[in-house]
Amino acid sequence: MSIVVTGATGALGRLVVEELLATTPAADLAVVVRDGAKAADLAARGIDVRIANYDDPASLAGAFRAGDRVLLISGSEVGRRVPQHTAVIEAAGAAGVAQLAYTGILGGPEADFDLAAEHKVTEQAVLDSGLPYTFLRNGWYHENYTGQLPSVLEHGAVVGSAGEGRIASAARADYAAAAAAVLTGEGHLNRVYELSGDTAWSLAEYAAEVARQSGRDVAYNAVPAETHLAILTGAGVPEGFATLLVDVDAAISRGRLAATSGDLARLIGRPTTPVAEAVAAALA
């Protein structure tokens, strides 16, 4: 039996692997990746590297073993994720894995925004498979915002169409620690966790925090949805993805990413990372 992380060379996957290595021998870990070269450093540390592609169901036939505990990290290609995830679920079922954990989205079936649609279909596919499951419904990441800090500082503005909506985000590393906890601990089978930060904040508060730490003039520029879409596409964001981002801001305005269940802090055994700390790290 191994603990298996799919998509392990991605931003979240690598953090999960590092969390696992802190408590689990490398010989008990495996990763499923498309490009073995990108996982060469993991292989060098003694981790079993299994080559497979979400888009090639046949390649997944050897990706899992009976009794494995598997983390299915959702694919990044919006619009293609349902068949990709289904291929992984079917391969995991055929192998007889002991646990399939899946990184979905905060709110699960109650999430009423477009980006949640493929996650909801995937969760149902997991349930239909009959596999022992753990649903990790991740909220928004701090990095979704701090990754844009160069542009924010250049223009002196955080631009969005979320109104006064609040966001209970957490650091990507927090979500990685939660995934490691459910893969190595007991009592997590057939459980659902709504994962989010301890404190919800508004974009106006975020802009004020960036201004405070940077010493620059930064304000929240609240714009209508159609203006937000035009700004994003004008900056080179593909229209389809820009539309999803604007739809997420609409969901934020409705409170859909503001829930603070406390599940994340309980799983990781500590408070979640404050957004101010993430801002400081990004500025550094």
Which residues touch 138 (CB under 8 Å, ≥6 apart)?
103, 104, 105, 106, 175, 195
pLDDT score at 75:
87
- DSSP for 220-259? EEE--HHHHHHHHHHTT--HHHHHHHHHHHHHHHTTTT--
CA distance 34 to 14: 14
Maximum Cα–Cα distance across the chain: 57
Which residues touch 38 (CB under 8 Å, ≥6 apart)?
9
Q: Phi and psi of 69, rounded to 5°? A: -100, 120
CA distance 72 to 104: 9
CB 32 within 8 A of CB 4: yes
Pick the CATH number of 3-138 from 3.40.50.720, 3.30.70.270, 3.20.20.100, 3.40.470.10: 3.40.50.720
Pick the CATH number of 140-171+196-259+274-284 from 3.90.25.10, 3.40.718.10, 3.40.980.10, 1.10.3720.10: 3.90.25.10
Query: Domain-by-domain residue ranges, the chain?
Result: 3-138, 140-171+196-259+274-284
Domain 3-138 identical in fold to domain 140-171+196-259+274-284 = no
Query: What does the pLDDT profile of the chain (284 residues) look like in tens digits?
Result: 899 999 999 999 999 999 999 999 999 999 999 999 999 999 999 999 999 999 999 999 989 999 999 999 998 888 889 999 999 999 999 999 999 999 999 999 999 999 999 999 999 999 999 999 999 999 999 999 999 999 999 999 999 999 999 999 999 999 999 999 999 999 999 999 999 999 999 999 999 999 999 999 999 999 999 999 999 999 999 999 999 999 999 999 999 999 999 999 999 999 999 999 999 999 99
pLDDT score at 107:
96
